[in-house]
Every structure is written in structure tokens, then in C-alpha cells.
Amino acid sequence: MTHSISHVIFDMDGLLLDTEPFYTEAHEMLAARYGKVFDWTVKKKMIGLPAHASARAMIDALELPLSVEQYLEMRAPLLEALFPKAEPMPGAVGLTRRFEGMSIPQAVATSSTRHHYDLKTIRHGEWFRIFSIVLTGDNPGIKKGKPAPDIFLLAARMLGVSTEHCLVLEDSPAGIEAAREAGMYAVAVPDPNMPDSDYGRAHQVIRSLEDFDFASWRFNPPSGFAAATTTPSLG
């Protein structure tokens, strides 16, 4: 039987915010400089990984004559011009507002750096105040990125909750793996190009946050919790 869920943790890229097309555009441009083609056979190896691991996966897949540091340096200005344009994914605002109304504490656990988080949310400050904490991938308390469980274990400690009472929503296989290794429940919300079979460890797979099935889960908000009204703790 499902434990009582008292806290919900969200990934950000491709789940709350529609940023994946920005990464695709930047990767396509960089691949083309070297006469290579960036497609989903490459992207599926990268999605959800921290920046260094993602860059390494691309360099290896396309045999690019670059170090990870060189690749990230070339990619940075392309992404930073695009990130402030990020819009919410379908259903994201409505679902998080509903959890807020249920007095369920919410957190963000993203592989993005704090700098990139700030750029992506620059127009969404009011919405992101819903979240009690925001953990970014460059937090010093995170020794290993997804699929290691570090970021989710740290989120649970900061929220003051046992992992078995946390529900994670993720769009990447690496994120689902990290959530399960942390001892949490996990719902996958894959990109349309990703097959359900890549999310075998998810407790549930849905195709949009608009399809979240409340009937499948038992929610029990912690006593005394008040929804956040100020800037969330960034860890």
C-alpha cells in the first residue's frame, strides 16, 4: 500500500518549464559546427543529467573534438540568451497551485545550476514562491548528480520529512532512478519522444501534468504547514 504522501518534489526542465527545446537548439547548432547531427538517439542519453555528464554523453556520442569544459563554454551564451524565454509546461501551474491549496509542501530539485535557475524563472517569481525549497545541481551538499539520489535525499532532509512520504515528479529516466534510489515514490512525465519502457522503475507514467491522477495517491499534509509566501529557500 502507498504510504501517506505529505511532500511533493518536482524536477524543473521539461517538467515545470518548457526548456528542453532550448537545449535541443543549442546542441543542434554546436553539432552542426562539426558536421554532426544531433537527434533523439543522442538526446535520450543526455536528458536529465547534470551539465558535465550531459556534455560528456554528447561529446562521446558524436565524437566531437572537444573537452567537456570547451563544450560547456561554447554552449553557455546560446542557452543564456534563450532561458529567460521559458514558459510553463501544460498543467504545471495548475497542479502546483492545487497542491498549494491542499497544504502539501513542494520543492524543486533540478540539475540546473543556480545561475541557470535564476534565468529560467526570471519571469515566474510569483509562481515559484509556492516551493518551500529549491535545490540546484551546484549545491555543495550534492556530491553526485542524478541518477544518484543525493539531490532528493538532501531535499527530504531540508523539508524535514522521511523519504517514504515524498512523491517525485520527473521527466527523465535518470531522475526516476534517483528518486527510487532515495526511497521515494516516482511519477514519470516523459517527453513525447521517450517510450514508457525507459521508465520501468516509475510507479506511474503519465504524459502530461494535466493528467496527474490524484485518486492513485493518498495525500496527508503535515500539521501546521503554511504555504510559502516569500522567496523559497535555495539551499
Assess whether 13 carries a catalytic annotation. yes
Is residue 56 within 8 A of residue 209, CB to CB? The reply is no
> Per residue in 13-61, pLDDT tens?
999 999 999 999 999 999 999 999 999 999 988 988 888 999 999 999 9
- List 13, 60, 171, 191, catalytic entry: 13
> Which CATH code is given to the segment(s) 7-18+86-216?
3.40.50.1000
How buried is 118 (Cβ within 10 angstroms: 0-12 exposed, 13-18 middle, 19+ buried)?
middle
Per the CB < 8 A criterion, the answer to whether 153 and 161 are in contact is: no
Predicted structure pTM score: 0.89
Q: What pLDDT shows up at residue 169?
A: 98
Taking CA atoms, 21 is separated from 27, 74, 126, 203, 204, in Å, by 10, 17, 24, 27, 25
Domain residues of the chain, as ranges? 7-18+86-216, 20-85
- Which CATH number does the domain 20-85 belong to among 1.10.150.240, 3.30.930.10, 3.30.565.60, 3.40.50.2300? 1.10.150.240
Question: pLDDT per residue over 175-217, tens digit each?
Answer: 999 999 999 999 999 998 889 999 999 999 999 999 999 999 9
Which candidate in 11, 60, 196, 198 is catalytic?
11
**In the structure, what pLDDT confidence band is assigned to residue 166 with cuts at 50, 70 and 90?**
very high
For 146, 147, 157, the CA distances from 182, given in Å and listed in that order, are 11, 10, 11
Instruction: Assess whether 171 carries a catalytic annotation.
Output: no
Look up residue 209 and give its DSSP letter.
Answer: G
